[in-house]
């Protein structure tokens, strides 16, 4: 039954039985067909590659759509890369200049802390003995 003009809303989803569209619609919707298809391998971009894509997108030499198609990316991927570049730049520019102290091993830190406590205790004992000796030398002792 040929139709001329607009289709009815109920006829929109119907396709002739032997058509490729009908076969495609039937095979893609089944869970078995989804299991048979190989999964797409997740693509990992190195930081250098992300920065290269960022620089190309920032430059006005090529259309952004062309860059995204060539790299197999979506516009959301580019937005995420731009956000990562911004965060990295803010982190790096916000850091104070100068050498950062190297992290200390916790075992070495604990050993040094115990050694410091022992030396402080010894220093306190020696200062008490020194004050006693000064009193004896100056004649301010109770032994007279």
CA 132, CA 127: separation in Å to the nearest integer?
9
Calculate the average pLDDT of the chain: 80
Mean pLDDT of 104-108: 90
Model's pTM, two decimal places?
0.44
Q: Does the pLDDT at position 59 exceed 60?
A: yes
The pLDDT, as a whole number, for residue 96 is 80
For residue 43, name the pLDDT band (cuts at 50, 70, 90): confident
Distances 85 to 49, 54, 88, 129 between C-alpha atoms, Å: 12, 8, 5, 63
Q: Encoding tokens for residue 57?
A: 């997108």
Interatomic CA distance for residues 77 and 87, integer angstroms: 15
Percent of the chain whose predicted confidence (pLDDT) is above 70? 69
With a cut of 80, say whether residue 131 has pLDDT above it: yes
Q: According to the model, what pLDDT value does residue 126 have?
A: 95
Specify the pLDDT at position 51.
94
Domain limits, the chain: 47-94, 105-144
Q: Is the pLDDT of residue 9 over 60?
A: no
pLDDT at 143 exceeding the cut of 70: no
Q: In this predicted structure, what is the pLDDT of residue 138?
A: 83
């Amino acid at each position: 039954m040929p139709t001329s003009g607009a289709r009815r809303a109920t006829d929109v989803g119907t396709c002739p039985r032997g058509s490729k569209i009908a076969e495609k619609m039937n095979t893609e919707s089944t869970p078995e067909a989804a299991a048979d298809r190989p999964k797409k391998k997740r693509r990992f971009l190195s930081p250098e590659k992300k920065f290269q894509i960022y620089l190309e997108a920032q430059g006005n030499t090529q259309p952004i759509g062309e860059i995204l198609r060539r790299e197999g990316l979506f516009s959301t991927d580019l937005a995420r890369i731009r956000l990562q570049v911004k965060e990295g730049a803010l982190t790096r520019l916000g850091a104070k200049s100068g050498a950062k102290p190297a992290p200390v091993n916790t075992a070495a830190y604990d050993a040094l802390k115990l050694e410091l406590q022992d030396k402080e205790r010894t220093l306190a004992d020696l200062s008490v003995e020194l004050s006693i000796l000064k009193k004896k030398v100056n004649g301010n002792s109770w032994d007279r």
